[in-house]
Structure 1
Amino acid sequence: MRVDLPEQLPPRPPEESVVMTAGRVDADAEFSAFVRAASPELGRVAWYLCGDPVRAEDLLQHALLRTYLAWARVRNDDPVAYTRRILSNARIDGWRKGRREALTAPLAMPEPSADDGAAARAERDLLGRALRALPPQQRRVVVLRHVLDLSEADTAAELGVSVGTVKSTASRGLARLRELLAEPSGPTPPGRSTR
């Protein structure tokens, strides 16, 4: 018997089905379907927030674990938004613990998929370098507001700041991105001098 998932979850490939146990949807099977469908998007968010693929994987695993623990409560709402908020909050918690930002070297950037064109790879690499050069707060706001296309109110709610803070931080972040992307040699990774 096939059971459709709530509209908020990304669609599942047709060959998958949700397991029924005593007339109820098996929560583990439903969560597994959610993870398969949402992991690519959430992985990109984690990578943009961290700038390091290893830390992004750790952050994503942490967020998925917390989502799993709250699955009964969030499955009928918007589990992708819930997990994105966990990603953002967990990243903030990492900064608060006094950790230093250690970003990936430009040559260690993740490899794009084989079906991407050279121009798309170059553009994504340039954007990734420019985002990594932004301060952490600006990077978070720019990623949530402009890469994920969240509204100012949604971005403010996810980060726990005011809408005015989102507006001013996004404005400064975009201005800095424009500067970085206009540089003829491209953005310089943080901590390196151009001399």
Structure 2
Amino acid sequence: MRWQQRLPQIAFALACLGMLIPHTPASAGSMMARPAVDVALTRNGTLQGQLVDSQGRPLAGRTVAVRQSGRDVARTMTASDGVYRLAPLSPGVYEVVAEGQSRSLRIWTHHAAPPTARPLAILVTGNDPIRAQGYEEPFPPWLVTLGGTAALAGIGIGLAGSHDLETKVKTTTSP
């Protein structure tokens, strides 16, 4: 019976502890899988794409490989404008690999492709982070954590004190 009276305090303490434990955000590249992109082949069954860096500049003379089930199906080199063409390919799910980057593609014939299918398979290489311009956090994360901890501790102390007061009032007898 005693532990049941303490259950709200235990739950509150565990909630506070969960907020204090540092959380590591997942990077977009390592933890989150990107969905496959729908790409339509040309009328003659050619996959067309472009290899660009993180700034959008075309990369010429680079090797592009298409894999299916972990095996290379086709390889080619990019032209001066970064464009590559691979023919003939059958419809299916492939992985395009170049410069250490990869992207899953769902390849469709020209006639069966859904309306959202793209005509080009664009692969962006490079590890340059892309960030919004002009954004600054209003408060440093350590200050937000410290303020939140102080607020939670104050609420917890206040709740614990009010519970003790209720117990004292209940046990007090009239003269």
Higher helix share: 1
User: Greater relative contact order (Cα 8 A, min sep 6): structure 1 or 2?
Assistant: 2
Q: Tell me which structure has the larger Cα radius of gyration.
A: 2
TM-score (norm 1): 0.19
TM-score (norm 2): 0.21
